[in-house]
Amino acid sequence: MDRSRNKISYRNPKVFNLPFEQPEKRPTRAWKPVLILVLIGGLYYFIFQSPFFRIKNIIIDQTLPPAVSEYMAKYKGENIFTLRSSEIRDELLAKYPELTNINVIRGIPDSIKVTCDERTPKLVWMSSGLMYLLDESGVAYKEIQDPGGLIEVKDNNNLPVKENQPVVSENFINFVNDLKPKLRGKGFEIVHFEVNETTFQVDAVMVSNLILKFDITRSADSQVSDLTKFWENHSGEARNYVDLRVEGKVFYK
């Protein structure tokens, strides 16, 4: 056998090209975007349109005025997620200025709870013929027509009062509320209080129109003590005022 001839034949083989076949095209899944849209639409309906998330229960703090419950009843049937808590707070504050620290809490799926604090009126501030309730912080929060037995303080300067703005300091509120019962306990009946140049000082007007002048930066106890000592021997001598603002001294006229 001639091996050299076989080697030559392997060097240049003939090639057979197989016919080209197009890859099989997979069918487009057109239903996928449709399914996604259906799911999104269904979820939107379930959250915002279905009765499942509509408000059925409104829980109001029992210490609040009954009118708050009546006012909140209009939100029954609304969607709990579209409820705007900030708007409710603003509306309640505008309608009921005696309320503060208002919170509207969602209880998924169908309940809301309203909690808030009610301001405690500490005195009545009178200015320019108008009367306002002041809370423990000295903030004027409501215009009224009748003092209702509260301590009355008249501003002789008739400065304008803005609601929900501080008029006097908390120290002033505490001093006046502490002073009046102390004076009554010593036999001094006060009709009302007055403020003139500054709220660091206050005048107590007695039934007899005698004016007692006090400094709110000093102890009410010490000033009432000075007044009592003066009154023991000089009560008939004071006709216009008794000034107790200087420690250790009593000025009178």
CA angle 4, 7, 11 (to 5 degrees): 140
Most confident of 7-16, 37-46, 70-79: 70-79
* Single pTM value for the model: 0.74
Please provide the CATH number assigned to the domain covering 123-252: 3.40.50.11690
Measure the CA–CA gap between 73 and 76, rounded to whole angstroms. 6
Q: How many helices (H) and strands (E) does the chain have?
A: 6, 13
Please provide the CATH number assigned to the domain covering 52-118: 3.10.20.310
206, 207, 238, 244: which is closest to 224 by C-alpha? 244
CATH 3.40.50.11690 domain range(s) in the chain: 123-252
Most confident of 36-40, 90-94, 211-215: 211-215
CATH 3.10.20.310 domain range(s) in the chain: 52-118
Task: List the single range of 62-76, 100-114, 228-242 with lowest mean pLDDT.
Answer: 62-76
Over residues 185-203, the pLDDT tens digits come to 999 999 999 999 899 999 9
Percent of the chain with pLDDT over 90: 61
Over residues 212-225, the pLDDT tens digits come to 999 999 999 999 99
